[in-house]
Chains A and B, each alone.
Chain A
Amino acid sequence: MLFTTSNFIFFIIILTVLYYLIPKKLQWVLLLIGSLIFYGIAGTSYLIYISLTVVSTYLVTIKIDKIQEIYDANIKENKEKLSREERKAIKAEANGKKRFWLVLALLFNFGILAVLKYSDFVVSNIYKDFGGFGFVLPLGISFYTFQTMGYLIDVYWGKYRAEKNVFKLGLFTSFFPQLIQGPISRFDDLKSTLFAEKDFNWDNFEFGVQRILWGYFKKLVIADRLLIAVNTIIRDPGTYQGAYVLLGMFFYAIQLYADFTGGIDIAIGVGQVLGIKLKENFNRPYFSKSIVEYWRRWHITLGTWFRDYMFFPISVSKPMINLSKYLRKNVNNELGKRVPIYIATLLVWLTTGIWHGAAWNFVVWGLGNGIVILISQELSPLYDKFHNKFDVKDKFYFKVFQIVRTFWLMSFLRTFDCYRDVGTTFKMYYSIFTVRNLNEIFSGGLMKLGLAIEDYILLTAGVVLLLLVSLYQRSGGIRIRLSKKPIFLNYILFFVLFLSIIIFGTYGIGFDQSQFIYSQF
């Protein structure tokens, strides 16, 4: 049941109605049942995997919590009796036990993910003719595994206590709007609204529905339409080279943005209708002036997950600090400072790449991002010098230049997740410089990509609307502004949006007159 099916819309409507009719105490239970239905329809076997994750995480976090409790009680009771050394020993013992359980749960859960997602990739790289194990990858497993493991680590760190109700943890893990493509939530963050008792609230409802509509608009009118052209280009790298590759990058940038942010808009909107606040996942990323900034604004919840649960733990781990100290003593201060950061960065980006997909493309893509980030970090003193010398930093045109540069840099990197394999991607890069066919695109080439002139006009209008909304967002939320306008105007605006989704959306069986031309029987 994808977001763009009519079943999903019915599901949401029925769920929402029930949600505000039943006793408020049961609202979260309904959400759990709804989420399980949602997930179960996608695949009954998925329910087994997600249950394994929930139950194992539950048991381990409770265990860790217990160890901590016993330790706290012990210390409190014997505060006077114990020496500092003894206290330290007890603490170390407790930490050791906690760590044992943590590692166990991490291995188990990431193990499931690894076996299901990566075993084919790994084995087929060793044995060329390997046909694959044929595991079915449960929908959204990368997302929910990360979300749950974040919770586990937080409990281990003592950020908050473990959840005592396994079903609540189940809902946190399986909450349907975010299950398939995020945002990746934090337990302490989500729990305040997820399990709360909610009254129906018009503002929430209205804003939620508007957000959902906007998401569908982006997905159905822009992304899915553009996808036709993107697919034409990337599926036939023999034909579409040179300027087409650039065009493909440009289209893919818009398509991916509209698709992903559209999906997130729907998820957040559905949450809002249900009175649940999900984290924002994007902050107008294409206006970023550097790649580091871009990654702070694109898929934010994944970025912060990697920062908190991987980058920091690796870079301040004992071995890293020791390495840093060693380098400071024996080589120089600067290197000592940077090596932990660099190692952690590359590891994080390697993992980010693999997280996105089990293929070499993603490995290269991830490392590519990491390397570009490190290079720009290295060059930043140089940049600063340049900025100071020419005093361009606050100039408008320079900012535009930076934004355009970042956009294209990201588009180039992103190309790795388009083409079949790494080799093809490099071939396509090469063709940009060798194949001169810019004229061809504008003398009919555009029309051969599966879209008609009307589609391009529509897309242009859609992208302009996207840009305007983005610019508006910079100066405060657009919907809050709109809600101050007369109700009638406000309503008409969103009704028009609704109509344009219905009419211009890319869904269903297209009307192909030739299909209808009567062939007599």
Chain B
Amino acid sequence: MKRNKITYIILLFFSIGVLYVIQQLFMPKYISTIQEGSLVEEYYLEKANHDVLFIGDCEVFSNISPIKLWEEYGITSYIRGSAQQLIWHSYYLLEDALRYEKPKAVVYNVLAMKYNEPQKEAYNRLTLDGMKLSTTKIKALKASMMEDESLLSYIVPILRYHSRWKELTLEDFKYMFKKDKVSHNGYLMRVDTKPVGYLPRERRLPDYQFGDNSYEYLERITKLCKDNDVELILIKSPSVYPYWHEQWDEQIREYAEKNDIQYINFLDYVEEMNIDYERDTYDGGLHLNLIGAEKFTDYFGQILKENYNLPDHRNDESLKKVWEDKIAFYNQMKKEQEEELRLYGYLKSVGEAAQKIDE
């Protein structure tokens, strides 16, 4: 048989193409359920620069509204948050973001300091799958992977998600190449309310000392900000639970003092912010709903504005149009969610994300 090199090359490209399409089909879409999975990826759609970047876990992407920050103070911001974002995730997401833009300030929510080691493969996936392939991503993977994970399956994720063939849905086909936006500059909106009910008691820990690994990455974040001439601000978001221990607070306070960074524990300002845990949370005190988030954002925005001298961009013509669209999307989603709430009594569109306390 005569063999033609060109035929082979064509076949090879064809195969890679088919494989890519199939991979797109098999990737989880995180549209109607587990929307958090879309957050990291959505960042790359963003064109504009931001003055403030938030990094951290759900306590940033549920509690802070960049739209509100714009509306009230003209601050441009983006949240690079993700589900159970551990501190090395945060570090590399920041490193990744700095390749695209240079913010004036970075805000890190310190809750994840309590995790010194990788916790669960699924959370690695939720945070890292969305990252664009780069040396930063590879480094992030190496820092995050659990023992039984393979690097290859992050680079060629079909190797991870192939067994979804049993559960492919219409959504997988619909959003193969283009997904709907789920967040508002990284903020996941929830308008529903679930007041604080049962509260687990504060559990004593055998050891309150944050781990070496956590500290190492906190130091690396600090250094990265310093090297890039970015102000670092450490915060602890307002929430009823999980518990933020006194001893932890002290350690962060000490660290902040030593490194000359601001640390704000917003747990101390709940009353001042006028947050009411009977009305302003959607899951019994773990996270704020839209009303709560806007209250917190408003308060925090004031501090940012005053302490860091951030410019007001509201009159900046080039930004105005972009943010008007964002506001429209924000208000539309708010309206839709309120409508939904009226119709069904709960938020159908966010799916059945479990609201367990994972401690």
A residues near B, CB below 8 A? Answer: 6, 202, 452, 454-455, 483-484, 487-488, 491, 495, 498-499, 502-505, 507-511, 513, 515-521
> Residue of B at shortest CB range from A515?
B122
Closest-CB distance, B322 to chain A (whole angstroms):
30
Say whether B331 faces chain A, with CB atoms less than 8 Å apart. Answer: no
Whether the pair A519, B3 counts as a contact (CB closer than 8 A) is no
Whether the pair A483, B1 counts as a contact (CB closer than 8 A) is yes
Q: How far is the CA of A507 from the CA of B160 in the complex (A)?
A: 9
Task: Name the B residues within 8 Å of A509 (CB-CB).
Answer: 121, 148-149, 160
Q: How far is the CA of A513 from the CA of B161 in the complex (A)?
A: 11
Q: List 29 A-B contacts (CB under 8 A).
A: A6-B150, A6-B152, A484-B1, A495-B11, A495-B18, A502-B162, A503-B165, A504-B162, A505-B162, A508-B150, A508-B162, A509-B149, A511-B28, A511-B161, A511-B163, A511-B164, A516-B28, A516-B34, A516-B122, A516-B125, A516-B126, A517-B354, A518-B126, A518-B354, A519-B356, A519-B358, A520-B355, A520-B357, A521-B359
Whether the pair B358, A521 counts as a contact (CB closer than 8 A) is yes
Whether the pair B28, A515 counts as a contact (CB closer than 8 A) is no
> Residue of A at shortest CB range from B287?
A520
Q: How far is the CA of A521 from the CA of B84 in the complex (A)?
A: 5
Whether the pair A499, B358 counts as a contact (CB closer than 8 A) is no
1/0 contact trace for B318-359 toward A, CB 8 Å? Answer: 000000000000000000000000000000000011111111
Partner of A518, one of B11, B150, B353, B357: B353
Looking at A505, A508, A515, A516, the one whose CB has the most chain B CB atoms below 10 A away is A516
Whether the pair B159, A508 counts as a contact (CB closer than 8 A) is yes
Closest-CB distance, A228 to chain B (whole angstroms):
12
Task: Name the A residues within 8 Å of B7 (CB-CB).
Answer: 487-488
Q: How far is the CA of A484 from the CA of B287 in the complex (A)?
A: 65
> Residue of B at shortest CB range from A496?
B18
Q: For the complex, would chain A's binding face be called helix, strand, loop or mixed by DSSP majority? A: helix
> Residue of B at shortest CB range from A486?
B1
Whether the pair B15, A517 counts as a contact (CB closer than 8 A) is no
B residues near A, CB below 8 A? Answer: 1, 3, 7, 11, 15, 18-19, 22, 26, 28, 33-34, 36-37, 57-58, 83-84, 120-122, 125-126, 148-150, 152-153, 158-167, 242, 283, 286-287, 352-359
Task: Name the A residues within 8 Å of B159 (CB-CB).
Answer: 6, 502, 507-508
Closest-CB distance, A386 to chain B (whole angstroms):
50
> Residue of B at shortest CB range from A6?
B152
Looking at A202, A510, A517, A521, the one whose CB has the most chain B CB atoms below 10 A away is A521
Whether the pair B11, A491 counts as a contact (CB closer than 8 A) is yes
Q: How far is the CA of A6 from the CA of B154 in the complex (A)?
A: 13
> Residue of A at shortest CB range from B35?
A518
Taking A202-B3, A518-B354 as known contacts, 19 extra A-B pairs with beta carbons closer than 8 A to each other, sorted by chain A number, are A6-B150, A452-B166, A454-B165, A491-B11, A502-B22, A504-B165, A508-B153, A508-B159, A508-B160, A508-B162, A510-B163, A511-B160, A511-B164, A513-B167, A516-B28, A516-B126, A520-B354, A520-B358, A521-B58
Closest-CB distance, A120 to chain B (whole angstroms):
29
Closest-CB distance, B3 to chain A (whole angstroms):
6
Whether the pair B162, A518 counts as a contact (CB closer than 8 A) is no
Task: Name the B residues within 8 Å of A519 (CB-CB).
Answer: 354, 356-358
Task: Name the A residues within 8 Å of B354 (CB-CB).
Answer: 517-520
Partner of A520, one of B18, B161, B286: B286
Whether the pair A517, B162 counts as a contact (CB closer than 8 A) is no
Q: How far is the CA of A87 from the CA of B292 in the complex (A)?
A: 108
Q: Given A487-B7, A503-B22, do A520 and B58 touch, yes or no (CB 8 Å)? A: yes
Looking at A455, A483, A507, the one whose CB has the most chain B CB atoms below 10 A away is A507
Task: Name the A residues within 8 Å of B148 (CB-CB).
Answer: 509
Q: Given A487-B7, A511-B28, A516-B125, do A454 and B356 touch, yes or no (CB 8 Å)? A: no
Q: How far is the CA of A498 from the CA of B33 in the complex (A)?
A: 31
Whether the pair A520, B283 counts as a contact (CB closer than 8 A) is yes
